[in-house]
Copies of this chain bind each other. A is one copy, B any other.
Amino acid sequence: MEKTIIELEQAAQTLKLLGDKTRLTILGLVKDSECCVCEFVEVLQMSQPSISQHLRKLRDAGLVKEQRRGQWIFYSLNREHATYPIIHQVLEQIPDQKEKLTALEEAGLRIQCDS
């Protein structure tokens, strides 16, 4: 990835959002695949409203996108965001969260939706 310059204020805002264990894990999860709220709840073992509130912050800042499919709302990383290069770099340097989704899958709790 080439070097991109991001305004300091905007970088600080994004870094503040990354500076929380829950949100950092959420971003680590959507780095690999779309996830719906109940999956975050399951993986992070936190209350649904708490997860929803974190997702709202990430979405309000534009770091993630949401897409409704049936009764589920799937969240994904917004790779078009101005500060995405920072997020990308950070996610490269923390442990992969993929296994947590694999565990869900094995437990048959992964949401599959074609609608």
List residues of chain A with CB under 8 Å of any chain B CB. Answer: 3-9, 11-21, 24-25, 28, 85-86, 89-90, 92-95
Contact = CB atoms under 8 A, between A and B. Distances in A.
A14 to B, nearest CB: 8
Contact of A16 (B7, B8, B13, B19): B19
18 contacts: A3-B93, A5-B95, A8-B24, A8-B25, A8-B95, A11-B90, A11-B93, A11-B94, A12-B18, A12-B21, A12-B24, A15-B24, A15-B90, A16-B19, A18-B19, A85-B93, A89-B89, A89-B90
A83 to B, nearest CB: 8
Contacts of A21: 8-9, 12
